[in-house]
Amino acid sequence: MQDNHDTLASLRLWQLISPALPVGAYAYSQGLEYALHAEWIKNAEDVEEWISGQLKNNLACLDIPVLSRLYVAWQKNDVASIDNWSTFILAARESRELVEEDLHLGRALATLLANLDIEDAKKYTTSNAAPFVNLLALAAVKWQIDVESIMKAYLWMWCENQVAAAIKLVPLGQTIGQQMLIRLADVIPCAVETGALLADNEIGSLAPGLGIASALHETQYSRLFRS
């Protein structure tokens, strides 16, 4: 049986990945809405391939290694590394929409954490250097959630938001969405392992389809999701 410390850390982790977390992630589709509009994606199989491809070739190569480095930086209170990796991941985002989404989610989480008495979060509530993974790493360190758990949780949260968007846009049935999440969950451990093993000079991704879709979504005539 887990001791009280481990149980509390697990509960805090569930709190961070809950759909009830008031950061607004549900409002974004990360290019998925345009990809469906342009008929790059036409059905459930295409949606799953789109999400799985990003998971393995984008988040595993960028978000996960940066999250792990920010976690270590917060453990050491290494301000220079925190600023460096925060700037790095924002610079790696491939469209204005993706940058603004990252900053919106990061500031929202910073505001929440500040209201939950995490003092280090306060300076990020209005910052232009507040990517979501930075504040997620801060919360994990402060609440003593281990790094592997927060990396897996981050990917799960991202997959869940993408599937929720697809359910509205395709549309998909709820059962199909849950079946998709079961299969995507199988990819998450490998994605975390891949990202955790990357050296600094190997971090980065090239996702032209995502970049084009999110950029064109900024001016899409009719949109359900935020730009």
Contacts of 47 (CB under 8 A, 6+ apart): 32, 41, 163, 166, 170, 172, 180
Q: Each residue of 22-58: pLDDT tens digit?
A: 998 888 898 899 999 889 999 999 999 999 999 999 9
pLDDT at residue 185 is higher than 90: yes
**pTM of the predicted structure, to 2 decimals:** 0.94
Please provide the average confidence, as pLDDT, over all residues in the chain.
93
Domain ranges in the chain are 31-217
pLDDT at 1 over 50: no
Q: Please tell me the distance from the alpha carbon of residue 158 to that of residue 90, in angstroms, as a whole number.
A: 17
Contact of 167 with 159, CB cutoff 8 Å = no
pLDDT at 227 over 60: no
**Cα 132 from Cα 195, distance rounded (Å):** 17
**pLDDT for 178:** 97
pLDDT digits (tens, 9 = 90+) for 188-204: 999 999 999 999 999 99
User: CATH code for 31-217?
Assistant: 1.10.4190.10
